[in-house]
């Protein structure tokens, strides 16, 4: 089996999940050994393995691409999730090292007010005009409006689904997804072709929306719902959040989530699309400026350039690029980690901290 197949098999071990799979990887020291351990307890090992690999091959044969979590293109923000998927499927343009650019998650309720739908569209359009990628879930309401706005601006946008990428749901979003792909965007999912969609898949995909983004904007939400889950995930991960402040809203209606969030975090409020996007664009520009070499110790600079270009790399890729052995590479990375320049993630991945 190749590495993608190994990751796919590991991701499907019954009763494990991403956390247990990563624990096995750390315990046994290699992907092959972790897979072998997981397969050992299966009563019909050969049949299960063949069926699992057939699912992957059918998915790839349908024109869908797949990316494992050790790929250089795997988004850095997903590495920081404790339950990040081991394999992600997609249609459209895959991520490329150093070219993803800034991204903002736009979230809101499916049963949104007409005003919220208008705001979502204008926000997607304004972000697109600034070259900022909109990330959302392709659901009805605010999600779809934000994707439409970004497409209207001719800008790449990324949708993350709760089901397989070859079966966009709801059907009203199929045309939007097709337009996104025409403009160089992508539709992503952690679920393979033919996999049954479960209700919890939609809440689970919110972590991928947040992990892909440099900021999150809440347009409209009742007190409970997927948008509020996304906002809590963003707060937990230190992703900046912005909450629309409606005028004279019904405190028990579809704006209740906004009001409760603003009561707790009043500084997150915004009221005009142009004002918010100006502020977001400024912060994105500041991130780009801070990504330069100024202030990086000379001894760290070559490694820093590699990490910044890819937004994170595994140890073996760094060794290959620098020509250093494992001892020398680990020694420098430990020094950079102690100085606050990098963070070590599971699987000996290293990401730059001072972006």
- pLDDT tens series, the chain, 355 aa: 899 999 999 999 999 989 899 889 888 888 899 999 999 978 888 999 999 999 999 999 988 999 998 887 788 788 778 888 999 999 998 775 445 578 999 999 999 999 999 999 999 999 999 999 999 999 999 999 999 999 999 999 999 999 999 889 889 999 999 999 999 999 999 999 888 888 888 888 999 999 999 899 999 999 999 999 999 999 988 889 999 999 877 767 889 999 999 999 999 999 999 999 998 887 776 555 444 455 677 678 778 888 887 778 888 888 877 778 888 889 889 888 888 888 888 778 888 875 4
pLDDT at 96: 59
pLDDT at 289: 47
Q: How far apart are CA 313 and CA 72, in angstroms?
A: 6
CB 137 within 8 A of CB 143: yes
Neighbouring C-alpha atoms within 13 Å toward the C-beta of 16: 25
Q: How far apart are CA 192 and CA 12, in angstroms?
A: 11
Q: What is the CATH number of domain 103-288?
A: 3.40.50.450
Q: How far apart are CA 253 and CA 62, in angstroms?
A: 43
Domain topology for 298-352: Arc Repressor Mutant, subunit A (1.10.10)
CATH 3.40.50.450 in the chain, residue ranges: 103-288
CB 270 within 8 A of CB 284: no
Only one residue has tokens 């070590």, namely 344
pLDDT at 196: 85
Q: How far apart are CA 142 and CA 107, in angstroms?
A: 6
Please state the separation of Cα 219 from the chain's center in Å. Answer: 19
CATH 1.10.10.10 in the chain, residue ranges: 298-352
CB 169 within 8 A of CB 189: no
- What count of residues does the chain have? 355
Question: CA of 150: how far to CAs of 99, 124, 183, 188, in Å?
Answer: 18, 5, 10, 17
């Amino acid at each position: 089996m190749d590495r993608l197949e190994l990751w796919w098999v590991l991701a499907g071990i019954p009763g494990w999940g991403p956390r247990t799979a990563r624990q096995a990887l750390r315990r046994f020291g290699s992907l092959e050994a972790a897979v072998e351990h997981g397969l050992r307890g299966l009563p019909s090992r050969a049949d299960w393995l063949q069926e699992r690999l057939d699912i992957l091959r059918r998915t790839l044969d349908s024109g869908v691409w797949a990316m494992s979590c050790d790929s250089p293109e795997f988004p850095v923000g997903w590495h920081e999730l404790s339950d990040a998927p081991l394999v992600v499927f997609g249609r459209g343009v895959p991520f490329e090292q150093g070219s993803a650019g800034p991204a903002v998650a736009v979230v809101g309720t499916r049963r949104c007010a007409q005003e919220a739908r208008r705001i979502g569209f204008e926000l997607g359009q304004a972000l697109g005009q600034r070259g900022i990628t909109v990330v959302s879930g392709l659901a009805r309401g605010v999600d779809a409006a934000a994707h439409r706005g970004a497409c209207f601006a001719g800008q790449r946008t990324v949708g993350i689904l709760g089901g397989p990428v070859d079966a966009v749901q709801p059907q009203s979003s199929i045309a939007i997804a097709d337009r996104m792909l025409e403009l160089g965007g992508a539709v992503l999912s952690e679920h393979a072709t033919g996999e049954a969609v479960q209700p919890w898949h939609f809440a689970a995909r919110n972590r991928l929306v947040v992990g892909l983004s440099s900021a999150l904007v809440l347009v409209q939400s009742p007190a409970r719902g997927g948008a509020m889950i996304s906002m809590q995930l963003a707060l937990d991960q230190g992703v900046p959040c912005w909450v629309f402040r409606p005028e004279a809203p019904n405190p028990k209606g579809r704006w209740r989530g906004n009001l409760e969030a603003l009561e707790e975090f009043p500084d997150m409020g915004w009221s005009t699309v142009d004002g918010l996007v100006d502020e977001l664009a400024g912060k994105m520009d500041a991130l780009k400026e801070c990504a330069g070499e100024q202030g990086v110790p000379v001894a760290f600079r070559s490694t820093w350039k590699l990490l910044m270009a890819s937004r994170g790399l595994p140890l073996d890729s760094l060794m290959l690029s620098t020509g250093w052995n494992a001892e020398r590479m680990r020694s420098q990375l430990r020094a950079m980690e102690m100085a606050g320049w990098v963070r070590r993630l599971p699987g000996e991945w290293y990401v730059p901290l001072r972006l």
